[in-house]
Amino acid sequence: MKKKIIILGSTGSIGKNLFHILKKDKKNFEILLLSINKNYNELLKQLKIFKVKNIIISDKNIYLKVKKYLKNKDIHVHNNFNSIKQILMGKKVDYTMSAISGLSGLQPTLELIKYTKNIAVANKESIICGWGLILKNLEKYKCNFIPIDSEHFSIMSLIKNENNKNIEKIYITASGGPFNKYPLRKFKSITIKSALKHPNWKMGKKITIDSATMMNKVFEIIEAKKIFNVNYDKLEIIVHPKSYIHALVKFANGLTKILIHDTDMKIPIFNSLYSSNEKKISSKNINFNILNNLNLHKVDLKKFPSVKVIKLLPQKNSLFETIIVSANDELVEMFLNKKIKFLDISRILLKILKNKEFVKYKKISPRNVTQIEQLSKYVSLKISALSI
């Protein structure tokens, strides 16, 4: 029997990687639903390959355009995620990939948990801001959660069946982005072009800038704390320029495990889809040159002051995480629009997070998605109105 699949954000990099894997094993999968925001040309290609009958298009103009184009086809075109109940009619699918970027991915993720046996999540914002809500639904609807970030998938693989008490330290590796060896004296003159030149990964502009500031690693620390239910003092960032090691875990019994794989997101996606070893993925031979020259070292806080945010984090789920995500989003956008300089991103972020108006949110737990979304909008407006 074919496994039933849903892909949210099917035309983004994660969605396309998953689609590529499914295409190679087409006889074993049926895609019930695809969702996109704007990239309808890629969507139309995907529809032809798998003959998908249901699509959700978030952008209203693109929705109307595609609906008109497909009017004589046996394809149901929807404009929002309220249609999920109607599409699935109470039936559970085998696997859902949630790869919508930004906070707009939280509500669909929560909704799909009700209708899927396994949910693979590649959406940082959902985990960081709404983990309490996600966990509640996972338990209620008996859904298995799979993190797709290479770091978190690696950690999960390393600590499987381990008691948390036996975990002494979890190290998340960071490449250091384009500025790992960059002289500190030149940081004042960093350009958008240079900040977007990641040495190892090809990603969107927003996450590439987060990598350049190392804010993406702060987010991954928050995600790891929530997903694996460990305290922040058991988590640390370690710089590894080649991005070959994705996680290291030191255990109280004296053992330390590391997980390595190529810089290819198809590997964690493939392993999230196939739970046993019945399938093989093409990968490179072990690179012993890299293993012999790991060059692991601690983060230089003078170059990457954003990492100081970790010291400000509360142990419990709170709305403070929403402030961090929303403030950083706005500041990165301002940098990309040439309104602030590169160093201003971390400088202003740290200043905002120490403001009494926002510190109080450390003691407030998120109740629902609306509360998170409203706070996010408020923070964005507050920052965009700053005179910098």
pLDDT tens digits in sequence order for the chain, 388 residues long: 899 999 999 999 999 999 999 999 999 999 999 999 999 999 999 999 999 999 999 999 999 999 999 988 999 999 989 889 889 988 899 999 999 988 999 999 999 999 999 999 999 999 999 999 999 999 999 999 999 999 999 999 999 988 889 999 999 999 888 899 899 999 999 999 999 987 776 677 888 999 999 999 999 999 999 999 999 999 999 999 988 999 999 999 999 999 999 989 999 999 999 976 678 888 899 999 999 998 899 999 999 999 999 999 999 999 999 999 999 999 999 999 999 999 999 999 999 999 999 999 999 999 999 999 999 999 999 998 875 5
What's the domain count of the chain? 2
* Residues of the domain holding 297: 152-384
Rg (CA), the chain: 21
What the block records as the tokens of 54 is: 């249901």
Domain co-membership, 39 together with 8 = yes
237 and 359 in a single domain? The answer is yes
Which pLDDT score, from 0 to 100, does residue 387 have?
59
> Which tokens is 291 given?
């293993």
pLDDT score of 201 = 65
Q: Could you tell me the CA-to-CA distances from 164 to 6, 156, 229, 236 in Å, in that order?
A: 32, 12, 8, 16
Residues 304, 326 share a domain = yes
- Do residues 114 and 161 share a domain? no
Same domain? 159 vs 130: no
Are 178 and 207 in the same domain?
yes
Mark which of 147, 177, 198 sits at the end of a domain: 147
Residue 66 shares a structural domain with residue 159 = no
Whether 124 and 184 map to the same domain: the answer is no
pLDDT of residue 154: 97
CATH number at residue 107: 3.40.50.720
- Residue 263 has a pLDDT of 87
Domain termination residue (choose one: 87, 116, 147)? 147
Same domain flag for 86 and 219: no
Q: Are 187 and 318 part of one and the same domain?
A: yes
Boundary residue ending a domain (116, 147, 178): 147
Nearest by Cα to 270 from 27, 101, 30, 22: 22
Same domain, 184 and 127: no
Instruction: Output the pLDDT for position 78.
Output: 95
User: How long, in residues, is the chain?
Assistant: 388
Residue 53 pLDDT: 94
Cα–Cα distance measured from residue 290 to residue 245, given in angstroms and rounded to the nearest whole number: 10
3-class secondary structure for the chain? Answer: CCEEEEEECCCCHHHHHHHHHHHHCHHHEEEEEEEECCCHHHHHHHHHHHCCCEEEECCHHHHHHHHHHCCCCCCEEECCHHHHHHHHCCCCECEEEECCCCHHHHHHHHHHHCCECEEEECCHHHHHHHHHHHHHHHHHCCCEEEECCHHHHHHHHHHCCCCHHHEEEEEEEECCHHHCCCCHHHHHHCCHHHHCCCCCCCCCHHHHHHHHHCHHHHHHHHHHHHHHCCCHHHEEEEECCCCCEEEEEEECCCCEEEEECCCCCHHHHHHHHCCCCCCCCCCCCCCHHHHCCCCCECCCCCCCHHHHHHHHCCCCCCCHHHHHHHHHHHHHHHHHCCCCCHHHHHHHHHHHHCCHHHHHHHHCCCCCHHHHHHHHHHHHHHHHCCCC
Residue 252 and residue 326 share a domain: yes
Sign of the Cα torsion 20, 21, 27, 29 reads negative
How far is 64 from 25, CA to CA, in rounded Å? 32
CB 383 within 8 A of CB 331: yes
Q: So what's the pLDDT on residue 89?
A: 85
